[in-house]
Amino acid sequence: MQFRGAYTALVTPFKNNQLDEEAYRNLIEWQLEQGIDGVVPCGTTGESATLSHEEHKRTISVCVDQVKGRVPVIAGAGSNCTSEAVDLTRYAKEAGADAALLITPYYNKPTPDGLLAHFKTIAREVPIPFFIYNVPGRTGLNVLPDTVARIFREVPEAVGIKEATGNLTQVSSVIEECGPDFTVLSGEDSIVLPLMAVGGHGVISVSSNIVPNMMHSLCKAYMDNDQEKAKKLHLEMAPLCRAMFFETNPIPVKTSLALMKKIELELRLPLVPMQEKNQARLKEVLQNKKLI
What count of residues does the chain have?
292
Residue 216 pLDDT:
98
31 pLDDT higher than 80: yes
- Please tell me whether the overall predicted TM-score, pTM, comes out greater than 0.85 for this model: yes
- Catalytic residue at 15? no
In whole angstroms, what is the distance from residue 204 CA to residue 188 CA? 8
Catalytic residue among 7, 24, 93, 162: 162
Residue 32 pLDDT:
98
Stretch (H or E) spanning 204: strand 202-205
Average pLDDT, the chain: 97
pLDDT in tens, 136-163: 999 999 999 999 999 999 999 999 999 9
Residue 208 pLDDT:
98
pLDDT in tens, 107-143: 999 999 999 999 999 999 999 999 999 999 999 999 9
Q: What is the mean pLDDT of residues 71-75?
A: 98
pLDDT in tens, 204-247: 999 999 999 999 999 999 999 999 999 999 999 999 999 999 99
Q: How far is residue 135 CA from its own chain's centroid?
A: 11
Q: What is the mean pLDDT of residues 19-31?
A: 98
Residue 24 in contact with residue 12, Cβ under 8 Å? yes
What is the share, in percent, of the chain residues with pLDDT greater than 90? 99
Q: What is the mean pLDDT of residues 36-65?
A: 97
Catalytic residue among 7, 24, 91, 133: 133
**Helix-, strand-, coil-residue percentages of the chain, each rounded to 5:** 50, 15, 35
1 pLDDT higher than 60: no
- Ordered by start, the domain boundaries in the chain are 5-224
Whether residue 89 is annotated as binding a ligand: the answer is no
For 84-92, the CB contacts below 8 A with 24+ separation are 84/53, 85/118, 85/122, 86/121, 86/122, 86/125, 86/126, 87/53, 88/53, 88/56, 88/57, 89/122, 89/125, 89/126, 89/128, 89/130, 90/125, 90/126, 91/56, 91/57, 91/60, 92/60, 92/128
Whether residue 45 is annotated as binding a ligand: the answer is yes
- Catalytic residue at 24? no
User: Coil, strand, or helix at residue 193?
Assistant: helix
Q: What is the mean pLDDT of residues 183-198?
A: 97
Residue 2 pLDDT:
81
Superfamily per CATH, domain 5-224: Aldolase class I (3.20.20.70)
The full DSSP string for 66-134 is HHTTSS-BEEE---SSHHHHHHHHHHHHHHT-SEEEEEPPPSS---HHHHHHHHHHHHHHS---EEEEE
